Structure 1
Amino acid sequence: MNHSFAFWKHWQKNTQWLFLSALVLLLTSLVGLGYYYVNYLENVIHWDILSELDDITISLDPAQSADGMLHIPSKAYIIREQFLASTMRINIEASWIFTILAIIALSLIYTGITFISRTWYLIFTGISVFLLMTLQWDLFLNRTGNWVGFCIIIGFAGLSYFFHAFKRDTSTVLRFSTFLVYWLIVGSITIKMSSYLSAITHFSTQLIPQVFILGALFIFGMAYEIPKWFVFISTRAQGSQNLLNFVVLTLIYWFNILLVFLHNNKVIDWDMLYLNPFLLFGLSIILGIWSITDRMILAAKVLNHEFATTLIYIGLAILSTSGIFYAFATANDPMIEVWEDIIIYSNLVMGILFFLYVLSNFYGLFQQGLSVSKVLYKPLSLPIYVFRIMALIILVALFSMKSFYTLNQAVASYYNSLGDHQVANHDYRFAEVAYKQAIGAEFRNHKTNYALASLALLQNDNETAAVYFKRALAKNPSPYAYEGLARSFSDRDRFFDALFTLKEASKHFPKNTEILTNLAYLYNKAKQLDSSLIYLEKAQEFSSNSPITASNLVAFWAKNGKLTTQKEYIQQLKALDYPSYQANALALKLSTQAQSEVVEISANQQKALDVSTFAWIYNAALFQKNLGTAIPLRDFAQKAENDQYSEDLEFAHAMQQFYKGDKQLTFEQLQAWASSDTSSNKAQYYQVLLNTLVKKESTSDNFSENIVDAKAAQLAIYQHPLNEKVLEKVSAFYNNNKKPEEAHRMLNNALKWRKDNPAIWQMYILQCLTIGMEPYAKDALIDLQKRFPTDYQRFLPQYQAKIALIEKQSAGFQ
């Protein structure tokens, strides 16, 4: 038994290069299989995020007044998010990879076949032609008959025979390159001339039967690689314990495979870690490469070249690997189970029969402590092909015990792939037919039922979708199918059915973040806040720091928490770059009246706002108040894409204007909204808000800064348009700078909102006299007398003195 990896070093350079390249491709394929295996359903299904907008009542900038605390009534927005299982997508990239790998693998196999003896060459070529004929080449061109396929296969057979019979000295690389280029050209022309929108999915579908057949033969042929290595390990050194070591290792290995076999056939359901069939597959392939020379001993009468054996082995390995990863890449669970059965059944049967082969032939050598591995394929009594024939008989018996259920699964996997092909070509009617044929072969598989549910959802048929989602849960349940079923119930107002479905899902998948999050959402909808909080915290525990679960928890406390709890939770907030989380964090801070901070906003004004970004920038505008730069809220509001948010954006702009710009403009905007429809609740709210803002500004602290220039005067009026001290100082500034009209306009604007303030009335009256508008001054004086008689009596001497001064100046001028 030769376990040296240097068997290829005496080959020609071009053959060595081809071998190493093929080996790298094989290892890459195994890595790809691992990737698709880990992702499995995520290869074709994903979680979408549904963001729901809700509001909470807040009080902005409370201030003390003579009548008590003044609260500016407003609202902040929170975002609640739940997960939606997507419809099943068609993994076209996987079809390309699978097809290209299959072409390379077949080219390697065909290259190896051209080197073997004439009789076996004709047998293998005949098998290849038969398999190639089943690819239905004419369907690509919407033709009946098999003329296109016949011509293609004649071209292939001619090339193969040319190398085998006439150009036997052609290098291995040139033979391989010729086959590869031939099939790539044929495939490219066929795809280009095809009427299919996605022709590659037809190729990948039609390759499935061929890959199953060749893959099954390959897996069966290497099913004893691991027990064979136990012989090598046990007999590396001479000793009396060699036989015992071999027996123990082999029986432990075989017993683990037996457990997998019993578990897959529902005989046992023990809570334990079972041997992974695909890990077994990968390990067997790698071990088989090290014993290529041993295979040469077994196949000496058929494959009379060592490198031909190697090329065929690696080609079959790549083909089998690509078939398995295609099953995972498309989440085709019947196909996965077929491969599992082929691997487990082959290893189970050949494992024990190889054990018997070793004992029946080399028991005496074991007792002598000799290295049995050196003569493993030189049996003393029964040759290994006898045990292989016995294995085939036993395998047929095992499959028959299940009524050849594995064949039904193979048929279902083919029709699943055919349905994918029809969906990729937007032929949904025939896709449904294909999927239903798959159900006819194996009605409980997840792939078919989820695909049919996806088609029903595309037609807005939630009731039919629910039927298929429920079937998808029968054998291989998934969180996606549970969510789909719950959503179909929820969309038809069957709330409790949706709740019970997700509760059942949480038992099957207790650590699934998406199911826990959706359960919390439903409990919150049912006003069962304690249960909602429990599932939110569970979701965060198992979420691996998902910003979505963290965001939902912040939203919960912003909406439902008591003030002390909210303040404590603010200390736990994280710096997550996630709009929903940031929006909810700002809402939580607003609800606790936390101190304003500058908020960095990076929303792109060129794009439409989504729900989360809208809530974020809206809350930020209210929270940072007079800090930071102004957010271009009106620019967002004026975009047609943001029409649904325009009213709230305009409101936030008005509030931002109040704190950062001209308060007068905010008053006028609120007055316009309040007057637009006096019967509506919104109009009443705007009137209350206007009155509150006016009162707040009226009770603001006295202004103590000096007015030194026009810019300072304008800024003072923007921020304090109703402050008596500011009005007095700015009026004096304008009058001193010979701009009395500006002072009059300023006082007239202030009087719109402060008719209850006698001091502003008095300043306004005197300013009217200053600019020579005595009729306005007299009218205002009458209003002052009616509203504030006492203040009128005190002001009257000042008014009369001003009138006398004006008359005196006028007389002197004359």
Structure 2
Amino acid sequence: MSEIFFWKGWNFRERVILFGCFSGLLCLIMAVFVVDFNQVSWLYDWNVTAFLNKIPEEVYSKHSNLIESSVNTDVLVLLQKVHGTFSSLSSIYTVVWSLAVYFLLAVCVSVFTFLNRFWFIVCAGLLILLVTFSGVGNVALFGLSSQVIISSISIILISLAYYCHEVRSTVSFYRRLLLFCAVFFLIGTVIHVFSIHESALLEVAYQSYWLGIILSAVFSLYVGHEIVYAILVVSTGTASEGVSKGNGLHFIVFSLLYLLNVALVFMRNSNYIDWDIYYFNPYLLLGLSSVLGVWGLRDREGLYHRVMPFRPLALVVYLSMAVVTFGTILYLMIQSNDPALEAIEDAIVFGHIGMGGLFFIYILINFITLLLKGLPIYRVAFKEDNFPYATSKLAGVIVVAAFFFASNYAPFNQAVSGYFNTVADFNLTQGDRDAAKEYYRRGAIYGNILAQSNTNHRSNYMYAQLLEKDEQKMVWMESATKKNPTEQSYASLGVLYEQSSLFFDAVFTYQAGLEQFPDSWALNNNLGLLYERIQLSDSADYYLNQNTNAVFWQKDVLSANKLAFWALSPDRKSQGMLQKSGRLDHQANWMANQVGRDSVDASMGLIEEMSLQLNLFSYAYLKNLGLVCAKNRATDFLSVIDPFLEYSGNDAFRNELSVTKAMNLYATGDVSNAFVLMNDTFEKSSQALPDVKMLLGKWSMELNAPKLAARYFESAREYAYPLATADLAQAYAMIGQRSVAQYLVGKELNELDSSKTSLRSQLEVLVESLDKEPIVWNHNTEVFEQGEDLLKHAAEAQNKGLVEDARILYGRLGVNNPFFEKGVLQAAKFFNQKGNDKDRAYEILRQSIGVNEYSPELIMAYIDQCLSMGLISYAEGTVIRLIDVLDAEAYQRYELDFEARKSQVESELNSWD
């Protein structure tokens, strides 16, 4: 480092190459620090699983002051659990990285063609070794064996290198580099065209793993002493004899502190200690050593100048090695290949302990006297005396080997596990999940003689993700949390425990994860929802409201779950202002809160361009929208629901949404279509829907049609609907069949469990009321008031001569509410007389008796309409229905009158003939 700006005398091309390579190296070092510090991952991803919680909400009850069944509907609350998954990495990362590795190989081959014969032969042997590890032997080129392919490529490269070394020795370095790059390109082209493998070049790119690992490990060992040398330069750089004798002591102290911390890093990585102190980051050590090594290489030129000059050959090889090393580290980080990264970290730590420690000893043995005198010995540091520098490097290699063997070959095992991860990734890119699963399994167990997990994260996590059975997934995912865990591994393991109803294990897993990742949005979210599930609302509220590292959509998921938590809380009706957004989950959960509140916000904020194919999100949104609209009598739901009900792929959701639509029709006054839709839903459903019959019965009671209500209640009672007997008894009492009502309630009391004392008391009060008091049931007066108002407007339009307006109003009056009999009859009368549209009148009456089946007025009007239109058979078939609605005497009188009118109509029809 005696010359900081050693490039001053270089030409322009050399400076461009130097600063270009050096800038690239600095950028890579910074990228590695950023990715490592922020724990950025391109592989691990989040997947959200939604599920529904149902809050029973009572509808259409509180009509009787005695006892009454309740009809409930489900308010849907969307809850979203988060678990880890993975993203298939784009092969472009591997391709770019492999190109960099092979470019370095071309640089190295170009450089060793300048060396003397001895070093040329040594490098040629190393080249054969690298070609063997490159994976080109696996491409099945021309159907040849791997040995033949490796031998052929090695012969081609060594022959060209020999040609440049012996025959055309005057060719410049840049032309040699271009030549070998072209040769690599041609070899790649031949592999692509003639290999029997479909993705041969991509396979070679993934197989470059070993080249990157070997070159990175060699470079990490090579620069292991640079920091100790830098301490020497800094501490003795301004020293002169007799001026600052303490500088030598500073070198010793600072070097020992540095080496001690590196040793502690090794002990922590080997699980010997777990102290809460500052440890050097291995990538920081390597980055600092790589930068300092540029000047260290310059200062050591006297040791190797006979082999190759520093300018530019040695520096080009050094910077290329540095760039590839950090490129490999960055690639492995992108790949999240933690066992491979650990192997490189071990090489860094071993190198800095072994090479750095032996260099420290080398300085002390050779220069201790000059060092204690305070002389600037960095100037002569590589002019060894007693202990040769090459010997110190050899001793450093021995120390590194000792660490390697002492660790039970852990770095090698980790490197092999990382290789299996890379091969598995390649198989995933080819769509072969079975092969990928097998290689991840090998990566997970490599180095364990019992074929159990070696607890490296990537292999265990990916293997667990590709397994099918939850009990197997749990075993391997638990191993993934042992070493280098991620938030995704803890979240996935917790969800697996929940799915197996191991709730306490899930709680402990989430809590263990939060100890490692206290700001994890996913773990806080899952733990909060789990506490809500096991009814620990205070804990759920605590974790759902933690400040987390959530970003963008993750914050939206948390917000939606908070809305869900408020809806599920017992005191949700006292919640303050609830915020909405345009997301379906937000809207669904916001409206779930609205249904449970005393006052309902009518501004729903409809979602536009929603897919007709429903999922849990859109289903919950539509269902809750329907409940809110029914509560405030809005028409928003009715305006959007029909396309979803008609879509063939929504069978799983059709019943619930149809009932909700019927409730909205009824709430907005379209009683006829509400009844038709409910009956149609019941008939078409493949499952029993007694609540539909109960709802129809309660509507009928509200509309003062107890005989019709009794029929619906009887149907529900057959399905053992709770308290259907109480409603049925009151319906019978209202139509004058008190004895039947008393019998039914008495039978219910006899069969009632003796422990249900409160219910028994209520039923006994009902029995007494049936015997003494008239039954009072609250009616839906609003729908009749709407009918009266509509009739008034229709009559006014008719009186003013506004025929078209009158037709529209009477048309609505005739079909909206068949229980408003006066309106239906007036509508039929209008179309028979003023409108001269007997078909329309007929259709109105036909539809009305189809809903209000026990109305004598409507049935008689329909019979009269049939007679007036000559539909005698229809009239005869309808008369029999009066048996159920008229007493015997009244029916006999009507039957005599009907026969007389029928004869008259038949006579008139015969006279036309």
TM-score by length of 1: 0.80
Residue 138 of structure 1: how far off its partner (Å): 3.1
Residue 740 of structure 1: how far off its partner (Å): 7.4
In structure 1, distance between residues paired with 2:596 and 2:6? 73
Contact 2:456 2:484 in 1 (8 A): no
2:178 maps to what in 1? Answer: 177
2:320 maps to what in 1? Answer: 315
Contact 2:104 2:324 in 1 (8 A): yes
Residue 597 (structure 1) aligned with residue 603 (structure 2): yes
1:635 maps to what in 2? Answer: 643
Q: 1:285 pairs with 273, 290, 302, which one?
A: 290
In structure 1, distance between residues paired with 2:809 and 2:294? 86
Task: Tell me the matched-pair count.
Answer: 789
SS at match of 1:78: strand
1:797 maps to what in 2? Answer: none
Residue 144 (structure 1) aligned with residue 150 (structure 2): no
The one-letter amino acid paired with 1:432 is E
1:267 maps to what in 2? Answer: 272
Q: 2:783 pairs with 692, 698, 701, which one?
A: 698
1:98 maps to what in 2? Answer: 97
Contact 1:444 1:472 in 2 (8 A): no
Contact 2:666 2:674 in 1 (8 A): yes
Residue 564 (structure 1) aligned with residue 570 (structure 2): no
SS at match of 1:58: strand
> Would the alpha carbon gap of residues 331 and 676 (structure 1) be closer, same or farther in structure 2, given more than 3 Å must change?
closer
> Would the alpha carbon gap of residues 408 and 245 (structure 1) be closer, same or farther in structure 2, given more than 3 Å must change?
same
Contact 1:660 1:719 in 2 (8 A): no
In structure 1, distance between residues paired with 2:322 and 2:17? 15
1:548 maps to what in 2? Answer: 557
35-44 vs 398-407, which deviates more? Answer: 35-44
Contact 1:112 1:308 in 2 (8 A): yes
Residue 266 of structure 1: how far off its partner (Å): 1.9
2:416 maps to what in 1? Answer: 411
1:579 maps to what in 2? Answer: 584
2:124 maps to what in 1? Answer: 125
Residue 614 of structure 1: how far off its partner (Å): 2.5
Residue 300 (structure 1) aligned with residue 294 (structure 2): no
- Equivalent residues in 2 for 1:313-712, closer than 5 Å: 313-358=318-363, 376-378=381-383, 384-422=389-427, 425=430, 426=432, 428=434, 432=438, 435-436=441-442, 439-442=445-448, 451=459, 458=466, 460-486=468-494, 498=506, 501-502=509-510, 504-506=512-514, 509-538=517-546, 543=550, 546-565=555-574, 567-568=575-576, 571-575=577-581, 577-592=582-597, 594-605=600-611, 608-624=613-629, 626=634, 628=636, 632-655=640-663, 664-674=672-682, 680-688=689-697, 690-691=699-700, 696=780, 698-699=783-784, 703=789, 706=793, 709=805
Residue 342 of structure 1: how far off its partner (Å): 1.0
Deviations 1:437-458 (A, max 9, x none): 7624146766768646755765
Residue 28 of structure 1: how far off its partner (Å): 4.8
In structure 2, distance between residues paired with 1:772 and 1:424? 77
The one-letter amino acid paired with 2:468 is N
> Would the alpha carbon gap of residues 451 and 88 (structure 1) be closer, same or farther in structure 2, given more than 3 Å must change?
farther
Deviations 1:541-569 (A, max 9, x none): 5646632233223223213332433x33x
Contact 1:453 1:466 in 2 (8 A): no
The one-letter amino acid paired with 1:288 is G
Residue 257 of structure 1: how far off its partner (Å): 1.9
In structure 2, distance between residues paired with 1:10 and 1:450? 47
User: What percentage of aligned pairs have identical amino acids?
Assistant: 22
In structure 1, distance between residues paired with 2:198 and 2:436? 14
In structure 2, distance between residues paired with 1:456 and 1:260? 30
1:11 maps to what in 2? Answer: 11
Contact 1:415 1:437 in 2 (8 A): yes
The one-letter amino acid paired with 1:80 is L
Residue 56 (structure 1) aligned with residue 55 (structure 2): yes
Deviations 1:704-762 (A, max 9, x none): 79556356666777877766898799789866666676567557655665689999999
> Would the alpha carbon gap of residues 466 and 746 (structure 1) be closer, same or farther in structure 2, given more than 3 Å must change?
same
Residue 93 of structure 1: how far off its partner (Å): 4.5
The one-letter amino acid paired with 1:11 is N
The one-letter amino acid paired with 2:565 is F
Structure 2 unmatched ranges of 5 or more: 704-778, 798-804, 888-900, 902-913
Contact 1:418 1:431 in 2 (8 A): no
Contact 1:633 1:652 in 2 (8 A): no
Residue 495 of structure 1: how far off its partner (Å): 5.5
In structure 1, distance between residues paired with 2:654 and 2:181? 60
In structure 2, distance between residues paired with 1:125 and 1:533? 68
> Would the alpha carbon gap of residues 459 and 392 (structure 1) be closer, same or farther in structure 2, given more than 3 Å must change?
closer
1:186 maps to what in 2? Answer: 187
Structure 1 unmatched ranges of 5 or more: 789-802, 804-814
Contact 1:237 1:371 in 2 (8 A): yes
The one-letter amino acid paired with 2:567 is A
Residue 149 of structure 1: how far off its partner (Å): 1.9
Contact 1:449 1:472 in 2 (8 A): yes
In structure 2, distance between residues paired with 1:691 and 1:34? 73
In structure 2, distance between residues paired with 1:218 and 1:484? 38
In structure 2, distance between residues paired with 1:167 and 1:294? 31
- Structure with the greater alpha carbon radius of gyration: 2
Residue 277 of structure 1: how far off its partner (Å): 0.7
In structure 2, distance between residues paired with 1:689 and 1:162? 100
1:83 maps to what in 2? Answer: 82
Larger relative contact order (Cα-Cα within 8 Å, sequence gap ≥ 6): 1
Deviations 1:20-42 (A, max 9, x none): 55445444544554565467694
SS at match of 2:290: helix
In structure 1, distance between residues paired with 2:454 and 2:89? 15
SS at match of 1:392: helix
The one-letter amino acid paired with 2:601 is Q
Contact 1:198 1:421 in 2 (8 A): no
Contact 2:625 2:637 in 1 (8 A): no
> Would the alpha carbon gap of residues 262 and 280 (structure 1) be closer, same or farther in structure 2, given more than 3 Å must change?
same
1:795 maps to what in 2? Answer: none
1:156 maps to what in 2? Answer: 157
In structure 2, distance between residues paired with 1:471 and 1:589? 45
1:258 maps to what in 2? Answer: 263
1:216 maps to what in 2? Answer: 217
Contact 1:211 1:319 in 2 (8 A): yes
Deviations 1:127-165 (A, max 9, x none): 112221333433211643511222222222233333334
Contact 1:77 1:615 in 2 (8 A): yes
In structure 2, distance between residues paired with 1:272 and 1:468? 31
SS at match of 2:139: helix
Deviations 1:564-598 (A, max 9, x none): 33x33xx14353x4332322122111222522213
TM-score by length of 2: 0.72
SS at match of 1:75: strand
Residue 51 of structure 1: how far off its partner (Å): 1.1
In structure 2, distance between residues paired with 1:389 and 1:529? 65
SS at match of 1:268: coil
Deviations 1:653-701 (A, max 9, x none): 4455556795532331113234557964254255247548866453555
SS at match of 2:44: coil
